[in-house]
Amino acid sequence: MNAPRRIVTPARRVRGLGAGHSGTTTFWHQRITSVAGVPLTIAAMVIAVALLGRSHAAAVQILGSPLIAIIMLLFIINIAYHMWIGMQEIIVDYVHDEGLKYVTLLGNTFFVFALAFASCFAILKLSFGV
Amino acid sequence: MAEMNAQAGTGASRPRPLSPHLQVYRMMLTLVMSGLHRMSGAALYFGMLLLAWWLIAAASGPNAYGTFQWFIGSLIGRLVLFGYSWALIHHMLGGIRHLIWDTGRGFEPSERELLARATIIGSIVLTLILWAIGYLAMGGSR
């Protein structure tokens, strides 16, 4: 009767996925996107500075060229995932009301997805013309 | 306290332990840098709208691009862009600091202090260099 009660079964402990069923996946993905983010962010900053004050025609030509477009697409996709995780962390840390938490978490997902999709679409349009 | 202990066995009514909140800690550079990392991340989150605006404007045509360039060229636009670039560089350096910590290194008090200083000084210096390059690339301030 007084023996210590284990709620977690040995198999569950070994799998180490915890209450959220995904273990340290989010933590790890935030690290992957931060490592990838360093060179991609530097590249994006160089591209942005190179385009400062240039005409629309020059911007279209440079942003639409394959190498630049690929770098920008990688930058956007990587950053989008990184900022989605980051804002989710901030929300679960500070928003304690259950209803508001779900609304803000949904808002985070919608905002990031729309932003990433719109940015990628713009790059692809510049790249493929029309 | 005695009341709390008396209730300890009763389950639901027992107050749960709370972790100490921010104000109990002494203000330290590493604490400020921790906060700045999160704040710069949150600012960049919304700052990405600027990038989206830039790209969509370029894809939309000369008029839309002109509007974007007008905004970025204005005083407010430049201030926003300056803050954005600083937040970006600061968050990047802060992230590198976290990646160093992830390897298990840099946790000694002197190392923590050094990394914190390197992040804040490095971010300011790099931001100023970036803007100097930017103005040079544009042939001086317009």
Q: What is the ipTM of this complex?
A: 0.88
pLDDT at B28: 86
CB-CB contact of A74 with A40 (8 Å): yes
Torsion of CA B89, A84, A28, A24, to 10 degrees: 140
pLDDT at A5: 73
Residue B125 structure tokens: 């210096």
Q: Which residues of B touch A (CB under 8 A)?
A: 38, 41-42, 44-45, 48-49, 51-52, 54-56, 58-59, 61-62, 65-66, 69, 85, 88, 92, 95-96, 98-99, 102, 130, 133-134, 137-138, 142
CB-CB contact of A81 with A29 (8 Å): yes
> Exposed (0-12), middle (13-18) or buried (19+): which is B88, by Cβ within 10 Å?
buried
Structure confidence by residue, pLDDT tens digits, B39-65 = 999 999 999 999 999 999 999 999 999
Cβ A34–B42 below 8 Å, yes or no? no
pLDDT at A1: 52
CB-CB contact of B78 with B72 (8 Å): yes
Q: Does the pLDDT of residue B120 top 80, yes or no? A: yes
- Mean pLDDT computed over B62-72: 96
Q: Which residues of A touch B92 (CB under 8 A)?
A: 37-38, 41
pLDDT at A2: 63
Among all chains, which residue has been given the structure tokens 């697409």?
Answer: A73
Can you tell me the distance from the alpha carbon of B87 to that of B41, in angstroms, rounded to the nearest whole number? 7
pLDDT at B140: 54
pTM recorded for the entire structure: 0.86
Q: Does the pLDDT of residue B3 top 80, yes or no? A: no
User: Which residues, other chains included, contact B88 with Cβ-Cβ below 8 Å and sequence gap of 6+?
Assistant: A41, A45, B40, B44, B47
Cβ B134–A49 below 8 Å, yes or no? yes
Q: Helix-strand-coil percent breakdown of chain B, rounded to 5?
A: 80, 0, 20
